[in-house]
Structure 1
Amino acid sequence: MLRILAFLLIVLAAALGFSWLQDHPGAVSLTLGNAVMETSFTVFVVLELLLLGIVCLVVWLVRSFFKAPDRVGRFFSTRRRDKGYHALSSGIIAAGAGDAALARRMTKRSQKLLAARKEPLVRFLDAQTAMIEGDHERARAVFQSMENEPETRLLAMRGLYLEAERLGDAAAARHYAERAARIAPHVPWAGGAVLESKTIEGDYDGALAILEAQRDARLIEKAESSRLRAVLLTAKAKTLLDRDPAQARKAALEAVSLAPTLVPAAVTAARAMFRLGDVRKGSNVIERAWEKTVHPELASTYIHARAGDSAEERLKRARTLASLQPTHVETHLMLANAAIDAGDLTLARIEATAALRKEPREGVFLLLADLEEAEGGSEGAVREWLGRAVRAPRDPAWTADGIVAEDWAPVSPVTGRLDAFEWKVPAQHVDAHGAVIEGERPSARERLAARPAETGPNRNGNGGHGRVAGPAAPVAAASGPSATAAPGGAHGAPDRAIAMPAEPAKGEGAGLRLF
């Protein structure tokens, strides 16, 4: 539109100019020797403009003639470049699709067509093609050559880091990640890798500094940053617990404030306070954590706050903690274990029965085996409870990436991922016949294997041979001759029907009982 308007304005100006010349006639006389040429002023102007146009055309033709070789060269160079980038694009797509043959063919073609331009993406394609071909030596060599160029240095660090991880060379992976973090602190993979490596090494102060830098750069959300900081502080506190309880307490308390549901933080803070002689404050930390997250480690730490406490005193502390979460299965297990230690087998039976009603799992059956043994039950009865523990659903445990650990750790032993451990029931899977396959339970299996089968009189002096009657299903309807009502005790155990095994005949081993 603007071009049309400009053209119209030029035409209008020319028309006005010629009109003005017609309105103001004049003559032009040109003398050359004896020749005299006369014409009107209008014709003279037209001739001058025509001559100027011819001169401009000649100049343009001369310049075009001398520039023609360069223009031809640029044409072929541009065409070659376009073909090279097309080959490069096709090669990258082929490498991403896993087509090694096409990727290598396009790599060679792009190297040939773009050799003069030294395109860095060609070397990247070469490295990627070598990786999908399985030629990792060539890939590493290409990445190392890319280190020399500032624009590809970070990309080279990434490739070398991944290769080091593939080879399991943690030191080399950490080296490349640290170099990348120095070049570009804002890159998430480099900062995350250095953070994990420092955590694995136990350099928690260094890990905290990196986490702080990532938070300042807004690479991670505030909530995630607080959680990871709590994990690192907890790990630091655990390492300081033996040699510097005061610093351990400081770090653990900060972790508790950042992540109130992080059980290891509360446990470590309480243990540090107990070592410093501040039992009351340490107990308060456990009580607040228990109200949010019921966990057996909290219970164990709370009960054993004072090393010199008697079993009765530990039972008293267990009752205090139980009052905060009276209906949880872990509360029943805690009270039952403390009652067995204190010799209060009646209370232990009531709490074990309550736990069995709620969650008939491995730990509950192991507790019942201990209780049966403490009450002087038959060897066969103990073995029966242990056998049921082997077949029962597993107890919750610290689990990360399919690995079950005895204790919490800040990183996964498989992937190195920070804050990977969760307190949950380990995964189960089903075989082709539909049977549940679970991980080994050394505690139940070894205890069962270590106990001899009962073939003679039991330790209570009851004679008899053969298999001892084991427990029936833990909870059943109140029907049949084997159902017996559980009495409601001082601890509020409800009157529920508990399935009991058949009474043994005279001369046989004693049957199992739940209360």
Structure 2
Amino acid sequence: MIRVIVYVLLILALGFGFSWLADRPGELQIVWQGQLIEMSLTAAATMIVALVAVVMIGWWLIRTIWTSPHSVRRYFRARKRDRGYQALSTGLIAAGAGNAQLAHRMSSRARGLIRADQEPLIMMLEAQTAMIEGKHDHARRIYEQMVADPETRELGLRGLYLEATRLGAHEAARQYAEKAAEEAPYLPWAATATLEHRCQTSNWDEAILLLDRQRVAGVSSRSEADRMKAVLLTAKAMDLLDGDPALARDNAMNALKLAKDLVPAATTAARALLREDNLRKAGSVLESAWKLEPHPDIARVYVRARSGDGAMDRLKRAERLEHLKPNNVESLMIVAEMALEAHDFIKARAKAEAAARMRACERVFLLLADIEDAETGDQARIRYWMAQALKAPRDPAWVAEGQVSEKWLPYSPISGKLDAFEWKVPYAQVSGSIEDGTVVSGASALAELPALAKSDQVKPDQVKSQPVAEQTAERQESVKVVTPKPLPTTPKNANGSKDAAPEPFFGRPPDDPGVRKPGNTADEKARLNIL
């Protein structure tokens, strides 16, 4: 396009020049070797332009003839290179599709048309072809050759890493990943593999340093990098909690600044502060985390912050959590649990039933069974709540890749993935065994609750007016143990005699040929006469 524009401008310039000369006529006289040459200005300009054109065309012809051997060689070289790239492209496609025969043939053709030092993809095609054909040793040798070349070093390290992982040589795979991460921290696979290994060996400082380098390289976003760093700081704080509470507190607080909703960071920071006797600061940290996300771990640490507190003190602290987050299942559950420990059965039952109406789960029904056992001891109602717990959905837990853990871990024990644990219901345990085909709800379970036995019933006014200890004592005294009467060992006949044999079913012995018929007694003869 640019050439066309240049040609058009040149033609316009020539036309403008000739028109300008035509508007200004004149004659040109040249004396050369005693001869006078006269011509118009237009003719002189035309001759000059023609002479320049002839010179340019002549120079082009001379240069074309002079460079023709090189041009011919370049043409055939370009044609050969094009065929080689076509074979290389076809071979890579065949290798990706798993066609080992076509990939091997295209690899040989590409190597014959293109030199490997000019195109590194030929070595990549040969390595992929060797892996498809099952020649892993040959593939590893090719990857080692690629590592020696600075242009293909990263590709060779990744190939060696994958081969070592496939063979289970985790130490060799770790070394390849660390070497790649040191030379190119922007490689996600190398940084992730190195980071996971350092986490598994609890080398938290090196893991944080690598994560910072990865963040500077722009591999991960800011939010993702902050989350990962918060997880690493929390794991480091958990390891330092027993030996250095002050340093554990600093790391946990830094983790909370990066991820405010990270529950393990809040509980770890609170435990470190409690070991420093800073109860107020620990309570503030837990309350802030509780407002963002109510969690059972936060509630347990909060209500047992002071080791010398009694059951009523723990109940008051649980009510404080309920005040901070009202109408929440976890708030109701922690109040019900602490009320049960304080033997305030009325409050415990009310809160547990309210939690069951909001979300029916195994933990709620088990708590109701514990309340029933401690308050009334009615076995029928206890068994009813236990049955509801078996049918109810399971409780949330720390789950990572299908693995359930009792406590939070910074990485998955299966794959080593960082920040893999989530607080949710396990996939394999969404609900318990269901007999009637429907999931139980809290309202229906409360409606179908069996009535309390008469010996266990207590008037509400008596429960409110009497202390908790007296209520429990009276209920224990009111429950009467009924001993069943022993059954008679010897059957009696109609006359009350213990010596008589039992009367056969339907008035006669069983139809068994192996059983002898008794003799005709007086009663038998009378019965036969009646019949």
- Into which bin does the TM-score normalised by the smaller protein fall? 0.7 to 0.9
For 2:203, the aligned partner's letter is D
2: CA distance between counterparts of 1:168 and 1:287? Answer: 46
1: CA distance between counterparts of 2:12 and 2:313? Answer: 107
1: CA distance between counterparts of 2:52 and 2:335? Answer: 111
| Residue range with higher mean Cα deviation, 243-252 or 310-319 | 310-319
Say which SS state the counterpart of residue 147 (structure 1) adopts: helix
Matched residue, 1:303: 303
| TM-score normalised according to structure 2 size | 0.71
2: CA distance between counterparts of 1:183 and 1:481? Answer: 68
Give 2:29's match in structure 1, choosing from 20, 24, 31: 24
CA deviation string 1:200-228 (max 9, x = no partner): 22111112112222333333332222222
Structural mapping, 1:240-279, within 5 Å: 240-279=240-279
2: CA distance between counterparts of 1:330 and 1:268? Answer: 20
Matched residue, 1:3: 7
| CA distance 1:361–1:238, change in 2 (3 Å) | same
Structural mapping, 1:180-191, within 5 Å: 180-191=180-191
Identity of aligned pairs, percent? 46
2: CA distance between counterparts of 1:481 and 1:310? Answer: 32
* CA displacement at 1:26 relative to structure 2: 4.7
CA deviation string 1:459-496 (max 9, x = no partner): xxxxxxxxxxxxx9642499999799x99999xxxxxx
| CA distance 1:57–1:237, change in 2 (3 Å) | closer
* CA displacement at 1:56 relative to structure 2: 10
Matched residue, 1:347: 347
* CA displacement at 1:294 relative to structure 2: 0.5
- Contact 1:191-1:210 within 8 A present in 2 as well: yes
| CA distance 1:437–1:300, change in 2 (3 Å) | closer
Say which SS state the counterpart of residue 24 (structure 1) adopts: strand
Matched residue, 2:367: 367
Segments of structure 2 that go 5 or more residues without pairing to the other structure are 40-48, 434-439, 453-458, 465-480, 485-531
Say which SS state the counterpart of residue 443 (structure 2) adopts: coil
Matched residue, 1:329: 329
How many pairs are equivalent? 445
* CA displacement at 1:162 relative to structure 2: 2.9
RMSD: 4.1
| CA distance 1:57–1:257, change in 2 (3 Å) | closer
Say which SS state the counterpart of residue 213 (structure 1) adopts: helix
* CA displacement at 1:129 relative to structure 2: 3.0
- Contact 1:81-1:114 within 8 A present in 2 as well: yes
Matched residue, 1:108: 108
2: CA distance between counterparts of 1:480 and 1:363? Answer: 19
Structural mapping, 1:147-162, within 5 Å: 147-162=147-162
CA deviation string 1:430-458 (max 9, x = no partner): xxxxxx776x9xxxxxxxxxxxxxxxxxx
- Contact 2:27-2:38 within 8 A present in 1 as well: no
The answer to whether structure 1 residue 175 and structure 2 residue 159 are counterparts is: no
* CA displacement at 1:255 relative to structure 2: 1.4
Structural mapping, 1:134-145, within 5 Å: 134-145=134-145
For 1:111, the aligned partner's letter is R
For 1:358, the aligned partner's letter is M
| CA distance 1:66–1:349, change in 2 (3 Å) | same
For 1:324, the aligned partner's letter is L
The answer to whether structure 1 residue 94 and structure 2 residue 99 are counterparts is: no
Structural mapping, 1:366-445, within 5 Å: 366-375=366-375, 377-379=377-379, 381-428=381-428
| CA distance 1:136–1:379, change in 2 (3 Å) | farther
| TM-score normalised according to structure 1 size | 0.73
* CA displacement at 1:58 relative to structure 2: 9.6
Structure with the bigger RCO (C-alpha within 8 Å, sep 6+) is 1
- Contact 2:384-2:449 within 8 A present in 1 as well: no
* CA displacement at 1:405 relative to structure 2: 1.3
| CA distance 1:84–1:317, change in 2 (3 Å) | same
2: CA distance between counterparts of 1:299 and 1:364? Answer: 16
Matched residue, 1:198: 198
- Contact 2:353-2:446 within 8 A present in 1 as well: no
2: CA distance between counterparts of 1:302 and 1:507? Answer: 45
| CA distance 1:155–1:285, change in 2 (3 Å) | same
| CA distance 1:300–1:57, change in 2 (3 Å) | closer
* CA displacement at 1:53 relative to structure 2: 11
| CA distance 1:408–1:479, change in 2 (3 Å) | closer
- Contact 2:157-2:177 within 8 A present in 1 as well: yes
Say which SS state the counterpart of residue 3 (structure 1) adopts: helix
- Contact 1:28-1:41 within 8 A present in 2 as well: no
| CA distance 1:306–1:149, change in 2 (3 Å) | same
Matched residue, 1:464: none
Say which SS state the counterpart of residue 398 (structure 2) adopts: strand
- Contact 1:256-1:266 within 8 A present in 2 as well: yes
| CA distance 1:390–1:58, change in 2 (3 Å) | same
Say which SS state the counterpart of residue 115 (structure 1) adopts: coil
1: CA distance between counterparts of 2:359 and 2:383? Answer: 20
| CA distance 1:424–1:24, change in 2 (3 Å) | same
- Contact 1:477-1:483 within 8 A present in 2 as well: no
Structural mapping, 1:278-317, within 5 Å: 278-317=278-317
Structural mapping, 1:198-237, within 5 Å: 198-237=198-237
- Contact 1:336-1:351 within 8 A present in 2 as well: yes
| CA distance 1:374–1:52, change in 2 (3 Å) | closer
* CA displacement at 1:111 relative to structure 2: 1.5
For 2:142, the aligned partner's letter is V
CA deviation string 1:309-333 (max 9, x = no partner): 3333322322232322232111222
| Residue range with higher mean Cα deviation, 204-213 or 55-64 | 55-64
Say which SS state the counterpart of residue 404 (structure 2) adopts: strand
